[in-house]
Structures are given as C-alpha cells and as structure tokens.
Amino acid sequence: MKLRKVTAASAAVLALALSATACGGDSKDEGSGSGSGGGGKIKIGIKYDQPGLGLKEPDGSFSGFDVDVATYVAKQLGYKPDQIEFVETKSADRENALARGDVKIIAATYSINDERKKKVDFAGPYLLAHQDLLVKKDSKISQATDLNGEKLCSVTGSTSAQNVHDDFAPKAQLKQYGGYSECIAGLQSGAVDAVTTDDSILAGFAAQDKYKGQFKLAGLKLSNENYGIGVKKGDTATLNKVNAALEKMVSDGSWQKAVDKNFGPAGYKNEPAPKVGVIVK
C-alpha cells in the first residue's frame, strides 16, 4: 500500500493516456469508422425482440425502425449492409457493451438521460417516444393511479422501470424481466396486469398477429423518451459522423420512409423528427 502514493497530477496524466488508448485503439474488426469500411465489419447493438423497432426474424434477418436507422448510419460511415453485424444489446447491457467495445454504436430504443451520459455519449435524438401502459382489452386499468398494488412488468435497466419507482407508480408491484417480449407473454398469461415502456414499443407488440385484439394502450404520455445512438464515451469522431448521418437521414426523406414502413403497420402515431442536439425534457 505504501507504494500507492499517486498524486492527483500523475493520476490525471494516467487517465489521459488511458483514454487516448481507448479512443485510438479500435479493432480492425469494427472498422475505423473513417468512411472506408473496406472489408471490415461494424458491430451494431440492437434489440432482438421488439417488433417494429429491432427484431430478429425467424430467418435470421433483422427488421424495424432502429435497424433501418442503424443501416443508414452505417452506410454514411462507409459500411454496406453486408458489413454490419447486429448484436443483441438488452436494456441493462447497453452501457457495458459500449464500454467494453463489444459494439461500435447502439440503436436500441436507447433513451438519452443524464445518468447514462456519465458512461456513454449519445448522437441524436432521432425519435421522441413516450412511456405508456399496455393492458388486456377488458382491463380496468386506464391511468397510472390504477396501478397501486397491481403487477406491473417492465425491463431491468430501462428508464421505464426507473420512472415507475421514482415517479408515477411507486405502489405498483414492479416485476422486472430481461426483455419486453417476456413482459408481453406475462400479460397474455395473466402473470402481470400491465406492461409499461415506450408507446413505440408497446404499439409494435399490440399489432402482432398473435396478439391482435387482445391488448390496448392506455394512451398516456408518462414521460419523454428521446432516442439516441449510443457511442463509446469520448469517441467524438464517431459521434460527429453519426449526428451528420442522422441529419441527412431526415433531410433526404429516408427517416420518414423508415417511419412509414415500420410504424405504419402498427398504427403508431409518432412525433415529428427531432432536431439533432435538441432534447425534449
């Protein structure tokens, strides 16, 4: 222990050196993000179980708004679709996946907030969603105050679960699962009385053939969820390129096309395209 007298100044130098290594040390596999994808791949974190946003289809392909946004952004970074490797990043794993370098960017219904900004950087926002409730068609639950004592499902590591605790339903029996598909299965079986997360996600589930006519959204705007693209903390070069790509996606009409294609079938009425750098509190 005697040896561990590190002065504040030398600690700062060490921290700088470490972060410089982290920034410059991209593996070849992820590509440099310099627009020269070459033969390399880019790993992008998405959700695998959220219809309309990020879904792994039975044939192994991927669909959803986040997938389309990610594919557009990757193209601007110099990667063709076949150079993208999609990796599942569940809600609770996102910060760590970026910190470890498992993925270069994350497009996974990832809300920008101050807590997360301590660990990762966010490009965007590229979508504004709102927290809502999904219940069975015949449920009496129609607002947050009806949740007292009821079994409410959300996902570990999500803002949705956090908001229940901190804000609108502290007296609900909160069950936290690993993914929203598990919550929806619980709602169908009666294991839980309601599911809470972003309206964009809930609408996608409700519109699936196997659930058609069984559920309803309460239509509450319980929070503002500004979706950002997660980037490793300090990777300013990637951050700036992703922001430029998102701006282009809106201005050339591709954003609207992706909205129509992915949210149209679910009848999800999305908010207009946000402005990059402007967070709705």
Interface with ligand GLU, residue 65, by CB under 6 A = no
Q: Closest residue to ligand GLU, Cβ-based?
A: 158
Interface with ligand GLU, residue 159, by CB under 6 A = yes
Which listed residue (93, 182, 193, 198) binds ligand GLU by CB under 6 A? 198
Shortest separation between residue 91's beta carbon and ligand GLU, angstroms: 4
Helix (H), strand (E), coil (C) string for the chain: CHHHCCCHHHHHHHHHHHHHHHHHCCCHHHCCCCCCCCCCCEEEEECCEECCCEEECCCCCEECHHHHHHHHHHHHCCCCHHHEEEEECCHHHHHHHHHHCCCCEECCCCECCHHHHCCEEEEEEEEEECEEEEEECCCCCCCHHHHCCCEEEEECCCHHHHHHHHHHCCCCEEEEECCHHHHHHHHHHCCCCEEEEEHHHHHHHHCCHHHCCCEEECCCCCCCEEEEEEEECCCHHHHHHHHHHHHHHHHCCHHHHHHHHHHHHHCCCCCCCCCCCCCCC
Q: Which is nearer to ligand GLU, 43 or 47 (CB)?
A: 47
Cis peptide before 125 (omega within 30 of 0): yes
- Amino acid of residue 223: S
Which listed residue (71, 89, 111, 176) binds ligand GLU by CB under 6 A? 111
Interface with ligand GLU, residue 155, by CB under 6 A = yes
Q: Which is nearer to ligand GLU, 29 or 166 (CB)?
A: 166
Shortest separation between residue 88's beta carbon and ligand GLU, angstroms: 12
Interface with ligand GLU, residue 197, by CB under 6 A = yes
Stretch that binds ligand GLU, among 75-83, 119-127, 136-144, 152-160 (CB under 6 A): 152-160
Interface with ligand GLU, residue 163, by CB under 6 A = no
Interface with ligand GLU, residue 91, by CB under 6 A = yes
Shortest separation between residue 98's beta carbon and ligand GLU, angstroms: 13
Contact 142, 218 (CB under 8 A): yes
Q: Which is nearer to ligand GLU, 71 or 158 (CB)?
A: 158
Stretch that binds ligand GLU, among 71-79, 107-115, 163-171, 245-253 (CB under 6 A): 107-115
Shortest separation between residue 104's beta carbon and ligand GLU, angstroms: 19
Interface residues with ligand GLU (CB under 6 A) are 91, 108-111, 155, 158-160, 197-198, 225
